[in-house]
Amino acid sequence: MIAQVGDRIVLEGTHLGDARRIGVITAVAHTDGAPPYRVKWLDTGHTSLVFPGGDARIEHPREEPS
């Protein structure tokens, strides 16, 4: 998994009833974009350090046409 600051991370719920969580990556620990990531969660505004598992995906922001 490779990400950069500004990408979104989406964590799917792993148990029945778990909600999907979406956050914005605010810091990347490694220059190659590998985890862990500092993430600001959109639902709570809190920040946490994330070591994403198999239930996570990265969404890159779309580039605006010039």
Please report, in tens digits, the pLDDT of each residue of the chain (66 residues total): 899 999 999 998 777 777 889 999 999 999 999 999 999 999 999 999 999 988 899 999 875 555
Q: How many structural domains are present in the chain?
A: 1
**Measured between alpha carbons, how far is 6 from 27 in angstroms, rounded to an integer?**
9
pLDDT at site 62: 76
pLDDT at site 3: 95
Neighbours of 5 (CB within 10 A): 12
Domain contains 3: no
pLDDT at site 27: 98
Run of H or E including 24 = strand 21-28
pLDDT at site 35: 96
Domain contains 1: no
Domain contains 66: no
pLDDT at site 34: 96
The range of the structural domain enclosing residue 47 comes to 8-59
Domain contains 36: yes
